[in-house]
Structure 1
Amino acid sequence: MKHITILVPYEAVLASIDDPRCMFSGVNDMLEAAGKPPAFKIQLAGLSKEVKLHKGSFTVHTDLLLHEVTKTDLVIIPALSGNMQQSLELNKAFIPWIIEKYKSGAEVASLCVGAFLLASTGLLNGCQCSTHWMFAHQFRSMFPEVDLVDDRIITEEKGLYTSGGANSYWNLLLYLVEKYTDRATAILAAKFYAVEIDRKSQSPFIMFNGQKGHEDEGVKKAQEFIEQNVAEKISVHDLAVQFAIGRRSFEKRFKKATNNTPVEYIQRVKIEAAKRSLETSRKNIAEVMYDVGYYDTKAFRTVFKKITGLSPIDYRNKYNKEILSIA
């Protein structure tokens, strides 16, 4: 039987505590109904016996205090809420405990922005990690030694697991169920909880808003120009000349400020505009493509799928309400 410890940090998101408890206890119920022994012992652990969440709207009663946990095979770090810096400060007492349990052989999984707390341990340095796409820029700024792959639903490396944004942690929970039991049990759990199994990417959900949380005014002006001229064909050379910055220096500064090369940024701005058009208009794919400055169907389709994980047609069919109503 695997011992699972679900942490209850201050400022945690309640659902990301209760959902893993429901998943693993639900699997136990399924196994027992099939005449098999339960697979998991589940315990909630925190820094106090009662933890108030969501400004006191809910109270979680922990089973154990951290120092009372004598055995655990898997530590689950739920999502945090509010200001990440403040949340981490409130929960810094968890950090040495997580490190100790990991070094003693336990695996550790973070859900959504729980990755901030896991990254604070230093255990993720040099490893791949996912988190909510909306927090990607902040995460990279705070933890530059972690390889953030913000399009991924799940990462697994050296006994450390992370999940993408919001409800994508259900996919990580299913992944862990399969690892600790078997495929058939994971499929049964997926059907019971109505979760699409084996989902790999959160790319279709990512909304690109530009990364302007930096102080490089020259790069900001270039970003604004790109966003205001989405239908134009823009080259890196033209941008460097227009803003009187040497090309090599411009590319270096742009990458440092936005974590994208200028070409990547141009592509993401154009594709974000294309996504909005595909979601809300009745234009065909060619019209949308021309509106965002692409004239090569293959190139447009390739870049679109690389960024969103879907073809333009599949994206429109998935998200356009008018198209769905006609279908």
Structure 2
Amino acid sequence: MKHISILVLEDATMSSIDSSYQILTRINDFLKYQGKEPFYTIEMVGLQANTALSKGLYSIHADKTIAAINQTDVIVIPLICGDFSQTFAKNKPYASWLLSQYQNGAEIVCLCVGSFFLASTGLLNGKKCAIHWAARNEFVSMFPDIHIIDDNIITDENRIYTCGGGFSYLNLLLYVIEKHLGREMSVLASKMFEIDIERKNQQPFIIFVGQKKHGDPQVLKAQEYIENNPEALYTIDELCTKLAVGRRTFERRFKKSTGNSIAEYIQRVKVEYAKKQLETGNKNINEIIYEVGYNDTDAFRRVFKKHTDLSLADYRKKYRV
């Protein structure tokens, strides 16, 4: 048996709280149908009896307050929305309780950008964390000591689970169910709730947005030139000459400011341009490759696959308007 505390955080989304409750409750039903005892005791846990969500659109009644929970086995941190700094302040009373429960052996299941709140407690320092691609830059600027994972949807480290992507928390719940009760139960839940159990990364969904809140005007000027000229063919030396900067020093500044090397940044911009052409245009794939400045079609195919986890043909088939 495991006791699960689903936190009713301020600024949490109703859907992530309710989905967690419904899926975990149904696991007990599945066990009952198999003639087995329930495995989860699930409670909504808050700071007070009732919490308003979505600017008062919904209200959730907590089964217990954190003061009444001396020990729990699993803590679910829901997806949050709004201004993250304000959210930290509103939910600060949870922090010491969360730290205490983790030190006593509790697992923490953090849904999508709920990781902003978890990171604010210090529990993610030095650990891996998956984050929604659209929130990556903000997360990195706020928590530079946390290791962001881009290629996988889910991270699992020292009893802390995180996930990237809006509704990928459904995959995280399946993952946790599998750890607790085995693959068979996870597959059953996948089938009953029609969740794609094989979804492993968020690369096909990413829209590249460069980090620009860094305060280095020359790096920003380089970013703007790269983004405004996705079809141009130029070397890094030529870019540095245009900006009147030394290559070695500027490459270090660029990497520090954006999190990408100059070469990676150019690749990401060209891939993003190619994605738009595949989604809306009628040009054949080789034409698109030449248009983004690659003469070696195989080289660009590898670059595209690296950043999207799809071939150009598969991307067009999946996303073409």
TM-score range, shorter chain: over 0.9
> Partners of 2:233 and 2:149 in 1: how far apart?
28
Measure, in 2, the Cα distance between the counterparts of 1:100 and 1:72.
10
Deviations, residues 279-325 of structure 1 (Å, cap 9, x unaligned): 1122221111112112212211111111111111111111113xxxx
Counterpart for residue 172 of structure 1? 172
1:73-84 correspondence runs (5 A): 73-84=73-84
Aligned to 1:291: 291
Distance in structure 1 (CA, Å) of the matches to 2:72 and 2:234:
54
Give the aligned partner of residue 23 of structure 1.
23
Question: What is residue 69 of structure 1 aligned with on the other side?
Answer: 69
Give, as a single letter, the amino acid of the residue that structure 2 aligns with 1:99: L
Counterpart of 1:275?
275
> Which residue of the partner structure matches residue 150 of structure 1?
150
Aligned pairs for 1:57-206 (under 5 A) are 57-206=57-206
SS in 1 for 2:276: helix
| Contact 2:14/2:53, CA 8 A, preserved across alignment | yes
Rounded Cα–Cα distance in structure 2 between residues aligned with 1:299 and 1:85: 43
Partner in structure 1 of residue 301 of structure 2: 301
Determine if contact 1:131/1:165 at 8 Å carries over to the other structure.
yes
8 Å contact from structure 1 (residues 136, 150) kept in 2:
no
Q: 2: distance between equivalents of 1:8 and 1:96? A: 16
TM value normalised by structure 2: 0.97
Q: CA deviation at 1:272?
A: 0.6
Task: Judge conservation of contact 1:152–1:200 (CA < 8 Å) in 2.
Answer: yes
For residue 192 of structure 1, report the CA deviation from its aligned partner. 0.9
Alignment of 1:174-253 (within 5 A): 174-253=174-253
Identity %: 48
Secondary structure, aligned partner of 1:113: helix
**How far off is 1:103 after superposition?**
0.4
Aligned length: 321
**Unmatched 5+ residue regions in structure 2?**
none
Question: Contact 1:133 / 1:151 at 8 angstroms: preserved in 2?
Answer: no
Structure 1: how far apart are the matches of 2:39 and 2:294?
53
How many Å apart are 1:224 and its aligned residue?
0.9
The 2-side partners of 1:13 and 1:290 are apart by 44
Match of 2:138, SS state, is: helix
Contact preservation (8 Å) 1:111, 1:131: no
Contact 1:151/1:164 (CA < 8 Å) preserved in 2? no
CA RMSD of aligned residues (A): 1.1
SS in 2 for 1:179: helix
> Which is worse superposed, 230-239 or 159-168?
230-239
Give the aligned residue type for 1:14.
M
In the alignment, the residues of structure 2 paired with residue 236 and residue 47 of structure 1 have an alpha-carbon distance, to the nearest angstrom, of: 54
Gaps of 5+ in 1: 322-327
CA distance in 2, matches of 1:213, 1:122: 23
Instruction: State the partner residue of 1:324.
Output: none
Helix, strand or coil at the partner of 2:195: coil
Distance 1:178 1:118 in 2: 23
How far apart, CA to CA, are the structure 2 residues paired with 1:11 and 1:234? Answer: 46
Structure 1 stretches of 4+ moved >4 Å: none
Q: What is the DSSP-based 3-state SS (H/G/I as helix, E as strand, rest coil) of the residue aligned with 2:23? A: helix
